[in-house]
Structure 1
Amino acid sequence: MGTQVSDLPCDGDGVCMACKSKPLENESLICNTCATPWHVACLSVRPESMSDAVRWECPDCSPPVTEDIHLAVKPAPVVQASSSAGDLIAEIRAIEADEALTDREKAKKRQELLSGGAKAVDADSEKKNGCGNNEVLNLLDESLNCSICMQLPDRPVTTPCGHNFCLKCFGKWVGQNKLTCANCRAAIPHKMASQPRINSALVMAIRMAKLSKQNVSEGTSRTYHLIHNQNRPDKAFTTERAKKSGKSNAASGKIFVTIPKDHFGPIPPEHDPQRNLGVLVGESWEDRLECRQWGAHFVHVAGIAGQGDYGAQSVALSGGYVDDEDHGEWFLYTGSGGRDLSGNKRTNKDQAFDQKFERGNEALRVSCRKGYPVRVVRSFKEKRSSYAPEKGVRYDGIYRIEKCWRKDGIQGYKVCRYLFVRCDNEPAPWTSDHIGDRPRPLPIIKELKSGAIDITERKGDPAWDFDEEKGCWLWKRSPPASRMPNCEMDEDGNVVKKVKSSKKKVSMKERLLKEFSCLICRKVMVDPLTTPCAHNFCKACLEASFTGQSFMKQRTCGGRRTLRTQKNVMGCPSCKNDISDFLQNPQVNRELMAIIESLQSKVEEENMETSEVNVNSDGVDEEGSEEIEEGCDEENKEICDMDEDNMKNTTVDKVENLTSEDKPSLKRKLGTKGKNNEATGEVKKTK
């Protein structure tokens, strides 16, 4: 029995189970079959040469032949007793020889074979995790596994080489001084080994997959606290869920006007069902929340209310930027952005980067080009202006943006600038005039002559302009149609909802694909890269962000003597951590790419099936017209019964007699007869 005691492998910490000491690297042997380390000094039979050491198999994989079979080293107790050692070796070699299996699948099968009860454990874990009938979770489980435990990663960590680990498994691995990937042996950066970052995109994807169920696109139900406008109090209010006192967590009170949130121009009396006055110039409110209730400026925190592709409806002058200049009838307004508001720096007033024409800034530029009217409110917080109210918020009427540009601001970064000029039919609150504004010449702006870039001026006629015949400001063109037609308010201020058109349901796979979006282009990643700081990008997007930058910077002393080269710091586009070492040889995350490709193929299959169902449900057949006739109503029966020759002779008058609701369906039905059909052209003319 001495041989059996001495022939014991090293444990997970590298300590020999026979002599209880940790052998050096050159004193240990690795089994060629099961990759288990063994202490050479404690082996009963040692390899005779270096070539034997390379092909050496441990006693568990090839037990020594002895006269007494009871002295032979038996297989590990976890392996089934009916399986002999020779059969075990044969099965392992069969797995290795199977070219249809991937390396990951081979490793999993070897693990199941050597551990015996692994299959039952896997089945239990699948039942426990609920992925037995979960198609999306099964898809992730096939492509995304921890390189150590071979399970779906818990708190996944992604190495720069593109392999994934559980945070706990990764901690144990690097805790053993193993600074190479367990899968490909690529080096793990020291900073990542000491401070591994969890891949939040994989966390969200796994969480969404676990919440999903077969053929159900919704996750767990959430509690929504909705209060209808007619049930809201007249003032801003707080509930028991508020975390802070005052109006820090206050909800808006009742909206008293019936305009949509994207309404341009003044608010007339017909949209004020309670007072029938509208919002008057000079009207004041206690704070921005109360101002919101009357629609003068709907957003109660941001200074710009607007949409980048639509235009800006209103702005608030509240002393947010030191570059603002207020001259009453005209003022220079500074755009938004340029400040670092990450973390807990929500009130940071120092600029950290340049402003750009995007979001609210672009909305103001659209209003400048189109000549839209912009409502302006001034707050008591604007301490540098002589025209600001002493307290509260005041509505000062309609202004129009005449020019916009960018320039270097007071804090050294570029800011977006806008020239607002008043154009309201009512006099300003600070004047004693009894009439409103008249067209006036634009003021001379000195900064336009020095350092201004990206200057934008209106080329055509403005939408809001002065009418000489009527002597007032009005819409010269139709105002932009509201893009929020789903609900309106009646005269009592109650919300009247319109019937919404049925929208396509977004499947769980499509929602999951959105989680795998690039942090630069915001689209589904192509050739995904995962940085050491656990951010995901397209390979092309990340490399394009550093185009023209070298990894090393050449330095000279006054142009005379060459100094030692210095490493260029290349900050991650998302968190500014240095990723220059990673960019020298970025590795595509193959596991993530496989998941994305699988999801995209599944989504395409579902879309194809949906389109086929829709085509069949329309009842339109290219070969015959029987199905078309079944879908015809009584009013269009005579038209549907006509053949192509009769359709050519159909007069426009017959088509004009149809109602507007029937024309689109008729156009669709006639269109199936052929694109060149003259009857289809008749319908297009009468539409």
Structure 2
Amino acid sequence: MRVKVKYTATEEINIFLTVENVRQMTATWLSKELDKELQPGRIMLIYCGKQLADSMKLFDYSVAHGDTFIAFIKHQIEEPANDDSMGEAADAPHPTAIEDDAPSGKAEDIAMEEDGDLPPLPNCDVCKNDSVKDCKSCGCTECGGKDDEEHTLSCDECGRFFHMRCLYPPLTIVPEEDWFCPDCFNKNEGVVEGEKTFGKSARKAKMPSATQTKSWGGGMACVGTTKKCTIVDKDYAGPIPGVHVGQSWRYRIHVSESGVHRPPVAGIAGKSSTPAVSIVLAAGYPEDEDHGDEFIYTGSGGYDLSGNKRTAKIQVFDQELTRQNLSLARACAAPINTDVGAEAADWRSSSPIRVCRSYKVAKKHPEFAPAEGVRYDGIYKIYKYRKERGHSGPYVWRFWFRRDDPEPVPWTPEGQLRAKELGLELYDPDGADADGRSHSLRKPTASSSVRVLPNAVLRELIRLDSANDRIWTEVLKATFSSESAFLEAVTERMFICAVCQELVQMPVTTPCGHNACAKCLCRSLNHSTDCPVCRASIEEMGDKERIMAGVNQNLVNIIMAMVPTYGKDWAIRPAITSVQRARRTGQPIVG
């Protein structure tokens, strides 16, 4: 039987009222109306198609004032207090159950609401509560029978009753979780529920990728960078401070984070308006030639990549001297010629280009390829470029590179010895599984850290910066995974502005030992005379105007020695004094 119960309290509804309280108040009211005791366990409350659990509160079901419940009353129950069919559903624990700490409501707050012609008492319009007559309205929806209540299920969505024997296929075990009738049950095919994963659909199973075993790099090309190189600008041409020839990374995304070659997929880093700054050799074109100190690099384009042709290996279009190809031409010290190409009169005056070799080069030139990952091989320069007919027929643009780097190449014994002395190892933050997948992109562990000692010139500049003795003492005592990590610590953590949280520009060091940009500190002192870090009074520590005007030139010189692009818009490089020149060259001090 179904009875609608409506909350009709005149005061604001207590949303923390428990379902058990509502069930008890409903049973109390019905017992008075029926003039016989009705156990709360015989009442099942339904709200918005869901059976309410005793351990929950109305708040958990988003019940608002004036909402309506549906109450089902079980008949022919010999032991109402131990009603299994009702008790298991009503008393089932809920994963988000909250302990009841709210006062229970009053029975007077629950009232019956008439539904059309229904009398206020529980009633069935079809069979008039005839316990013998079959009725699909209050009995089994399939056969209409009212027997075998222990094996009768109620749909958690529509509330109709079904004998387990009348279902197709028949059920032999009472479901422990929510159960839905065939009309309310939906198959969630292709839908991820909780921690479940997608299964192979019929269409996916027919695709070539369903049976492919090739490793595509573990999807590392599209994971996204976790940091950005701040040591140099994006378009900086030349070697990256702290990165030596022979340094290697397992994945291209790590090369991007280091700043050596920023595009995670493209082989050329450059745009049509500026010269290219770096490339990656991966033997992607049949026209490529590699001779170590010199190589011929084929430009980009010419493949039909429409639709599902991303792996096309036959060139169908002529390459054009645009975009990345034009950036390579601009790096050559020769006039731009879009018809046939050009050659530099002085190739050393060409723009420097950082060159990396991928392990894929081993397909054609294993003697120059790294064993795994991507390796930085130094600075090369373009001395000519030509438009020639390619192997597939269409024209390609070819660029001739020549090495111009004082560090030894990594495939020679000298280069291998230098890499060993510098402790250059494959950068692989988390290791890789057998299929090439990396777990994450965390930094190397402390066990791989070493102490990085600056050169003699930099140590002398650090000694002169007495205002930051505390910071430099901490930096020089620390250990880092590489020289690049040392530079990152200085430029990204130790000497950031206390106001703008960027590398200090025109740095001012306060008497209390904190650094800030001159403009940022000026704006801060307009509102308060305290240090923006330690809140110490700057006026009490000295002349405020003198402190604000005192740019720490020693710190400027140190950062300029570390970061080639630092202060290029505002810094004035001071002349080297006779004392500094003598200390650097070892000559006696004059004057």
State the TM-score, normalizing by the size of structure 1.
0.27
Task: Report which of the two structures shows the higher radius of gyration computed on alpha carbons.
Answer: 2
State the TM-score, normalizing by the size of structure 2.
0.31
